[in-house]
Structure 1
């Protein structure tokens, strides 16, 4: 497949000063931001991973934000500058959406997404996964979970795969799913006790087994929620984050700090990076990425003390895929 050769990185000397966790002045530097794909009329809903010393960025391509031709694109890069399309997953029966990627305990790539089924069909949505040993050759699609549950992102912990699925038809409940083999996903516990239309969620696990979950909410109320649970993850406690977060990505840094990225809709829509205090559920804004309009759905990877972040945005006229490198302040 042809390579996409990018211009020299556009270096952004943007420094944000904020106050986080008792640090009087902490600087966040956006080192550079570059566009890495704009070949489709609409490119969106990203994720990012480093695998076998290469970068992989996955996202949806289609004619529009919602269109019958949605496909999941896989880009590969050795250095983050030159990107090559190495796979494109399609379905004759569905708009494939919201690519998310992770590494299994056995060292495979797992790509998950949802098939918005062409109607008429027996269901509206079906969650799907694909596997790959190298990021280029992918398995056939495997349906996971019950129809009309959108398992939005999968995280691995102690050899099991966990994902939060939201019901895309009434009663619009949100539910934790678990799999012991990465193929068969079952409901774990009861639906989350979160009011309103809760949906997209990002889940992480601490070394002591504690799980944290950030859940987007739409409608009224629309503030994102932070959930906490301990094994067996059937009892969750929820706190408001006081902020709408679209397409959330939650990550714990090696020093213990917690980072959230997603879309802020207070004022013009922007893709934003926050620091989270998981005890108080307080957010501190760290940086606003060059973004606007149709934007968000970031992927986060820490590499050589730099936070790499994929996201999409339409602030330059059409939706494109961007890659940012961010230097976070040293914790004190």
Structure 2
């Protein structure tokens, strides 16, 4: 009887653990969908109006020049058509992000930088809107000069985004601290300060996500201290944050929540990076562990200048857009990934 009781208790413990076992990832397909620009980079991906929409920046190089925002559309993810190319005279438009507003309209937010050669002289966030994905309003400035609203996430009819401000354009790990603040908006134009984040290490690019109970998740890229990514969590009203340091340095990171409750993260992997160059950079897909660490599930075909994935969970398949220069000049790629819960 004691043995039977012990077995029952052990089984009761193991069954919940098994049901929450880490997922595995199988990359089903990767295809190049665009390489027309001299430098194609910084992607985002959404599914809207029964179609796939992919956006990214086109310019002469990773930094500098007057970057343009390209938008592609596809019915099946295989054949893509360019439907818009957005520009602003004298401005480098970069890091475009697409979201669907509560009204059903599309919103695009991006950064607008001013360069003198390859030296950054100024920057301010922009937003644009569209009813059909093809015709867009003119770029409209939001927030203040120097603030970069990097990614927007809608939750319960409200847009949330983290904006960072750098006192210097240098990405060296030492130097003046950078600031990070969370804003919210109901129309994408007027933004209200929600919280000045108490995170150090020169925080910058930040992706926000939400749990069903309203808890906010923040994945923060850092360029100071040890350069490791920071993971923050806070319950409404998002004033008290708990922080963890990841085991990975982030770059262009994005995240998607699976129906199981797991969070998957796409980011640049610097593990094999060569000092002073982009050699060894990769784009990976990883599982976010409870302690803030990332457990790599897959490495996409990628090398050098790469990352900035768009991520969409659709019909039990993860769709990922990203850019990479492993085949020469940087190009835009689309991957389909099967996630298996073990």
Instruction: State whether TM-score is above 0.5.
Output: yes
Distance 1:219 1:28 in 2: 32
Question: Which of residues 148, 154, 157 is equivalent to 2:146?
Answer: 148
Task: Give 1:22 deviation, angstroms.
Answer: 8.1
- 1:17-36 aligned within 5 A: 27-36=24-33
Q: Given the superposition, is the C-alpha separation of residues 159 and 293 from structure 1 closer, same or farther in structure 2, using an over 3 Å criterion?
A: same
1:120-175 CA-to-partner distances (Å, cap 9, x unmatched) read 9xx71010011111111111111111111100000011211110111032551111
Residues 102 and 154 of structure 1 are in contact (CA less than 8 Å); yes or no, is this contact kept in structure 2?
A: yes
RMSD between aligned residues: 2.0
**Partner-residue secondary structure (3-state), 1:328:** strand
The residue number in structure 1 matching 2:122 is 124
- 1:24-173 aligned within 5 A: 27-118=24-115, 124-169=122-167, 171-173=177-179
Task: Give 1:67 deviation, angstroms.
Answer: 2.5
1:254-292 CA-to-partner distances (Å, cap 9, x unmatched) read 111100001010112110000112x32132110000001
**Partner-residue secondary structure (3-state), 1:307:** strand
Question: Which of residues 184, 195, 218 is equivalent to 1:189?
Answer: 195
**Partner-residue secondary structure (3-state), 1:246:** coil
In structure 2, the gaps of 5 or more residues are 1-16, 169-176, 273-279
Task: Give 1:117 deviation, angstroms.
Answer: 2.1
Residues 256 and 313 of structure 2 are in contact (CA less than 8 Å); yes or no, is this contact kept in structure 1?
A: no
Task: Give 1:119 deviation, angstroms.
Answer: 5.1
Q: Given the superposition, is the C-alpha separation of residues 24 and 166 from structure 1 closer, same or farther in structure 2, using an over 3 Å criterion?
A: closer
Distance 1:285 1:26 in 2: 11
Q: Given the superposition, is the C-alpha separation of residues 235 and 329 from structure 1 closer, same or farther in structure 2, using an over 3 Å criterion?
A: same
In structure 1, the gaps of 5 or more residues are 1-19
Distance 1:87 1:280 in 2: 42
Distance 1:159 1:50 in 2: 18
Distance 1:136 1:205 in 2: 29
Q: Which has the higher helix share?
A: 2
Q: Given the superposition, is the C-alpha separation of residues 186 and 21 from structure 1 closer, same or farther in structure 2, using an over 3 Å criterion?
A: farther
Residues 64 and 115 of structure 2 are in contact (CA less than 8 Å); yes or no, is this contact kept in structure 1?
A: no
The residue number in structure 1 matching 2:13 is none
1:33-68 CA-to-partner distances (Å, cap 9, x unmatched) read 000000011000000000001100000000111122
The residue number in structure 2 matching 1:229 is 234
**Partner-residue secondary structure (3-state), 2:199:** coil
1:288-310 CA-to-partner distances (Å, cap 9, x unmatched) read 00001000000000111110000
Task: Give 1:219 deviation, angstroms.
Answer: 3.5
Distance 2:127 2:21 in 1: 45
**Partner-residue secondary structure (3-state), 2:253:** strand
Residues 50 and 56 of structure 1 are in contact (CA less than 8 Å); yes or no, is this contact kept in structure 2?
A: yes
Structure-2-length-normalised TM-score: 0.86
170-179 vs 84-93, which moves further = 170-179
Residues 86 and 135 of structure 1 are in contact (CA less than 8 Å); yes or no, is this contact kept in structure 2?
A: yes
Distance 1:196 1:241 in 2: 13
The residue number in structure 1 matching 2:3 is none
65-74 vs 22-31, which moves further = 22-31
**Partner-residue secondary structure (3-state), 1:135:** coil
Q: Which has the higher strand share?
A: 1
**Partner-residue secondary structure (3-state), 1:196:** coil
